[in-house]
């Protein structure tokens, strides 16, 4: 995947995760959360025996979305302490 694909996929995943969790964040934060979520989700899915990011497709968006949700949950938990 190229850089532009990572930015688009990350932006979509970050935006979806922010919408689900109710986080109000800007476009750049959405992209960063989504790309970091793709890395986290890919690692977790790989450790569980699944497939991580495979390209610009629905499966990769799902993996990035799940990773972004985990990242936002960790950030929210860290804020409360």
Please report, for the chain, the start and end positions of each structural domain, with discontinuous segments joined by +: 3-80
Question: What is the rounded distance in angstroms from the CA atom of residue 37 to the CA atom of residue 18?
Answer: 12
User: Quick one: average pLDDT of 49-60?
Assistant: 90
Structure tokens at 59: 């499966």
Instruction: Look at residue 17 in the predicted model and tell me its pLDDT.
Output: 95
Instruction: Look at residue 23 in the predicted model and tell me its pLDDT.
Output: 86
User: Quick one: average pLDDT of 51-55?
Assistant: 88
User: Percentage of the chain with pLDDT > 70?
Assistant: 100
Q: Which CA distances in Å does 6 have to 9, 37, 50, 76, 79?
A: 5, 11, 20, 24, 28
- What distance, in Å, lies between the first and last C-alpha atoms of the chain? 37
The answer, yes or no, to whether residue 72 has pLDDT greater than 90, is yes
pTM recorded for the entire structure: 0.90
Instruction: Look at residue 53 in the predicted model and tell me its pLDDT.
Output: 87
């Amino acid at each position: 995947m190229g850089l532009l694909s990572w930015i688009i996929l990350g932006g979509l995943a970050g935006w979806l995760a922010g919408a689900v969790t109710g986080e109000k964040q800007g476009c750049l934060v959405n992209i960063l959360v989504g790309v970091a979520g793709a890395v986290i989700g890919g690692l977790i899915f790989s450790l569980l025996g699944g497939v991580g990011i495979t390209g610009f497709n629905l499966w990769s968006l799902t993996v990035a979305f799940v990773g972004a949700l985990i990242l936002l949950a960790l950030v929210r938990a860290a804020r409360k302490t």
